[in-house]
Structure 1
Amino acid sequence: MAILQTGGTVYTASYPGVVARFMKEADLISKGHVYVQGGFNESFKIPRVSMSDAIQAHTETPASEKGDVTFDNATLTLTKYDVFVKFNPNSLAGYWKPFQADGEFNFKTLPGQVQGQITSVLLNQVAGYNDIVLLQGDTSLTGTTNLKYVTGFIKRAQNAPEVYDITGATTITQANVISELQRAIRQSKRNKSDVRRATYDPNFKLFVSQYTKDLYGDALRGLTNKSISIEDRTPDRVNGLQLVALPGMPDNAILGAVGQNSPSSNLWVGCNDMGDFTSVRIERWRPESELYFMKMTIGLDSAIVKPEEVFLYKA
């Protein structure tokens, strides 16, 4: 990986925002759809408790107990990936004032302004990657794909037999998006009591791709008795449940779960330190070299705490 300059307008004046326009937030984390647990190095146990049927007829003195209380845990186990880039700061002379002096750039360290801009680009690329890998990641993948470094929520749901799998998932189109969203809700609530109870939580959300949400809006606008007009934004509700479009969700998929930025979330993200998302090393590659490097290491994992309260629609 390298920093490439591919032509276009070269700004001779200092313009610190030239790279910042590429900034991208990790919606899954920054918008409060998951709980992030930091401060551990290898694994973290998320405690949970469940009770089997403990209901029995009333007697003055019960003859025997009924039901069991089970304590167990979901586990976050970190896997790591690196971001490593080498670059020549002299190639940035046309963009930043600190590089416009006569002669070659010979400072021992990069000016703080430049470090900040380069770091912003790096962090926001990582944020965009986390958006995707935390949903679509699969450590069983091989080859050149970057999705093999972390297990995402979709794979977690597919691997958990307790998750309710919506049957008959198909390609979602403008013609069927309303009926498929409603069918996923009805089918899971009718056939899985745990999902039905979870949907009463105000933070139960239907996670879809932006394209799927756009199709939903187009379908509503196309109704004979119109729900919304062309100038209106797409509603964020389906049958009273929140509809959330995420950059990392694939098309033709719906993940239904309680997601929020608190420990009561059913979707958790783990990292060995919250500083992983802000700590970057920017140093000269070697004392005699003109090259600098940026390095960032992130330990990351996902967990579904109560898979029995989740449904997955995946074509």
Structure 2
Amino acid sequence: MPDGFVINDTTYAGEAASQFIVKSITGADTVNGGNVYVKDGIKKKFTIPRWDANYEDLIQDRAATPTSKGKMTVTGQTLLPEDYMIYLEFNPRDFEDHWYATQLNDTLIDRALPYSVESVVVQEVLKRHAKYFNKLIWNADTTLSSIYKYFDGFLKKAKSAADTAVVSSPTTLTASNIQAEFLRGYNMIEDALRYDPNMKFYCSYATYDLYDQSQINQTYKGVDITQQGKDTFKGRKVEKIADFPDNTYFIAKGMPTMESNLWIGLNSIADEGLQLRQLQANSELYFIKMLMKADVQIGWNNETVYYGA
């Protein structure tokens, strides 16, 4: 079993800071940005109820004894969270040659982690899971054999749905063409949502930078090169998402409430959650473990626009 800790600094030259300096990583842009509704506590599956009716079919001439006209349609989209987990074993004795050695228990039989180390381990594992989860919800594909196989992400579901508005002939996005390509997608938004402020463009960091550069490059009414460009297109928010594929964008109504067209289903409440504890009574090893169940779903595919290969 490989050791979960790789200690490269085994020097001890006096007191150490009480906290680690940790490496910066991108996080859960999708969730933290208020772009999806998160439904937690799903034990098996959850149905997103959908109601629809043709507004013109409901209208008729006034009559003393009217007859029924029109119909209401109730359907649903299903969230079916799938299992995955984090599990890592390590030996707290790895810190005996580290500058945290002074904070270890005096007895070898109880080499528990110092609280400061334990706190960092938990926080940083959670941060790295947030980065993974952000990538998973957009890029997951059940045909893969990698750790992104657990369910179909938003992009796979959008591409697979027959009623998604798909922009024809996508191309490699550049600072020269991105505004024109964004406009093609914007023009495909349904009239009922064209001016909805919660309709957003989702794209990669690189695509966002191209849009930013395109604003600087404008001959007239351009952005000062020392400033960041506006994060809106035709009044709609352009959301940069970490690990989103390049040369791709997706337009949908994204909100942190049930009115959102983008949903995430979880069962993080009922499961064991995050554990950091001794492996077993006769072992010096510790483990960190987290169980997760997750899925994503689009409420109405015909209210989304997909651009990409």
2:268 aligned to 253, 264, 273, which one? 273
Q: Percent identity?
A: 27
- 1:153, CA displacement in angstroms? 0.5
How far does residue 150 in structure 1 lie from its aligned partner after superposition? Answer: 2.9
Counterpart in 2 of 1:198?
Answer: 193
Q: Where has structure 1 moved over 6 Å in runs of 4 or more?
A: 8-11
Q: What letter matches 2:228 in structure 1?
A: R
Provide the C-alpha distance between the structure 1 equivalents of 2:53 and 2:67, rounded to a whole number of angstroms. Answer: 16
C-alpha offsets along residues 124-153 of structure 1, whole Å, 9 cap, x if unaligned? Answer: 1100001100000011212xx221123211
Q: Relative to 1, partners in 2 of residues 1:69 and 1:55: Cα closer, same or farther, differing over 3 Å?
A: closer
| Secondary structure at 2:259 match in 1 | coil
Residue in 1 that maps onto 2:307 = 313
Q: Do structure 1's residue 236 and structure 2's residue 239 form an aligned pair?
A: no
Q: CA deviation at 1:57?
A: 4.9
Where structure 2 has 5 or more consecutive residues not aligned to the other structure, the ranges are none
Aligned to 2:180: 179
Residue of structure 2 in register with 1:192 after alignment = none
**Structure number with higher helix proportion:** 1
Q: Deviation string for 1:190-221 (max 9, x for gaps)?
A: xxxxx331232211110000100101111111
- Residue of structure 1 aligned with 2:100, choices 96, 99, 104: 96
- Which amino acid counterpart does residue 314 of structure 1 have in structure 2? G
Q: Report how many residues are paired.
A: 305
- Once the two structures are TM-superposed, the CA of residue 160 in structure 1 deviates from its matched residue by 1.4
8 Å contact kept, 1:32–1:261: yes
Alignment match, 1:31: 33
Consecutive unaligned residues of structure 1, counting only runs of 5 or more, are 190-194
- The one-letter code sitting in structure 2 at the alignment partner of 1:42 is K
Aligned residue number for residue 49 of structure 1: 51
2: CA distance, partners of 1:58 / 1:123: 61
User: What is the deviation of 1:25?
Assistant: 3.1
Question: What's the counterpart of residue 153 of structure 2?
Answer: 152
Output one character per residue of 1:66-120: Cα deviation in whole Å (capped at 9) or x when no partner.
3220111111101011101111222234253664566x75327444433221100
In the alignment, which residue of structure 2 is the partner of 1:291?
285
Which residue type is aligned with residue 123 of structure 2? S
- For 1:13 and 1:279, locate their aligned partners in 2 and report how far apart those are by CA, in whole Å: 34
Measured on the aligned residues, the alpha-carbon RMSD in Å equals 2.5
Q: Give the letter aligned to residue 193 of structure 2.
A: A
Code of the aligned partner of 1:296: M
Partner SS state of residue 131, structure 2? helix
Structure 1 length-normalised TM:
0.88
1:161 aligned residue: 162
How far apart, CA to CA, are the structure 1 residues paired with 2:71 and 2:32? 39
C-alpha distance in 1, partners of 2:178/2:134?
24
What whole-Å deviation, never above 9, does each CA across 1:204-247 have from its counterpart, x for those lacking one? Answer: 11000010010111111112225201111121110111111010
Q: CA deviation at 1:51?
A: 0.7
What TM-score comes out, normalization by structure 2 length? 0.89
Contact 2:135 2:244 in 1 (8 A): yes
1:184-263 matches, within 5 Å, as: 184-186=185-187, 188-189=188-189, 195-263=190-258
